[in-house]
Amino acid sequence: MFFEGSEKKIEVIVTPGCGSLRELGKAFWTEMVASANAEILSSISNEKCDAYLLSESSLFVWHDRFLMLTCGTTNLANAALRFIEQIGSDNIAFASYQRKNEYLSHLQSSAFADDLERIRARLPGNAYRIGHLDSHHHYIYTSSKPFQAAADDVTSELLMYHIRGEAADYLRAENQSAAEIRRLLTLDAMLPGFEFDDFLFEPFGYSINGICGERYMTIHITPQENSSYVSFETNLPLEGEHAQLFARLLAILNPGSWDVIGFNSGCNTQGFPAHLCLGSCALQTEQGYNIDFSHYQQLCHEVLIPEPM
């Protein structure tokens, strides 16, 4: 019943002379997704973005950039290399590649260091591990070409572990419905104006993409007891009506621990459950991204249940 929810993530921004990535067409993206060992399940589009829901996570394509997240045992580095090969590294303005440490890293087809070696051979860049190896940690590569991030180029990620409570119980139960999960997550209330596309996996697991103009959100839920994981990611600024997005999700899913990763993100801890921030890191890149990583733990002692093997 184990499923590795943690995602690998690549984001690529192309140069103005490259042409629109959306015009590459669905066949191009279908093949790229297949090269990572995933497939496209459905898609939605608006004037700014094509959002593909994948068998393992999501792909968002804008005119000048794409973002691809894949979980499970997919090999996202394959897709990244395929893209670089087909588009040409000269047409790439900026690229980043991230991996969160997995629950069971030995089941992965590659380690971050392997992926890094292959990507760097095509596109030089800097890479870091943030966080201790024996705790939650995050790997990030960014290309080293001259580039300047736009002021509104923000990303905020909330990665939740060991979800508990009513919503968690429902997500693990039989006879779920996508509509009820959307209701539990209060998505319509939190994200008015978004168009959604979701998928309920068997026997459980849930993914949803949402787009609103050039803004996106995506949630992927791996509810399995003892290895549950829920990721939320958006390029919405977390201010005004969206200032409490993270706090609301934390209240609903009640995770034992969680990570917040921001790229020029204004995310704050207002409304978070009582917690200890075990560690945090701020990293500035030459391209103008301020990357923040923080690992939080609910401020309580947990009685651990032995897991028979």
Residues binding its own copies (CB under 8 A): 101, 103-106, 108, 111-113, 116, 126-136, 139, 161-162, 226-227, 256-257, 276-281, 283, 293, 297, 299, 301-309
- Tell me how far, at minimum, the Cβ of 178 lies from its own copies, in Å: 27
Please state, in angstroms and rounded to a whole number, the distance separating the CA atoms of residues 5 and 294: 19
Please state, in angstroms and rounded to a whole number, the distance separating the CA atoms of residues 46 and 58: 16
- Tell me how far, at minimum, the Cβ of 49 lies from its own copies, in Å: 31
* CB closer to its own copies out of 142 and 156: 142
Please state, in angstroms and rounded to a whole number, the distance separating the CA atoms of residues 43 and 32: 15
- Tell me how far, at minimum, the Cβ of 212 lies from its own copies, in Å: 32
Please state, in angstroms and rounded to a whole number, the distance separating the CA atoms of residues 17 and 99: 30
- Tell me how far, at minimum, the Cβ of 242 lies from its own copies, in Å: 26
* CB closer to its own copies out of 120 and 145: 120
* CB closer to its own copies out of 78 and 108: 108
Q: Phi first, then psi: what are they for 251, rounded to 5°?
A: -65, -35
* CB closer to its own copies out of 207 and 224: 224
Q: Write the CB contacts of 22 (distance below 8 Å, at least 6 apart in sequence).
A: 50, 61, 62, 63
- Tell me how far, at minimum, the Cβ of 249 lies from its own copies, in Å: 18
* CB closer to its own copies out of 189 and 309: 309
- Asked if 5 and 71 touch (Cβ cutoff 8 Å), the reply is yes
Please state, in angstroms and rounded to a whole number, the distance separating the CA atoms of residues 192 and 118: 41
- Asked if 77 and 110 touch (Cβ cutoff 8 Å), the reply is yes
- Tell me how far, at minimum, the Cβ of 95 lies from its own copies, in Å: 16
- Asked if 98 and 9 touch (Cβ cutoff 8 Å), the reply is yes
Q: Write the CB contacts of 37 (distance below 8 Å, at least 6 apart in sequence).
A: 56, 73, 74, 75, 78
- Asked if 75 and 36 touch (Cβ cutoff 8 Å), the reply is yes
* CB closer to its own copies out of 27 and 299: 299
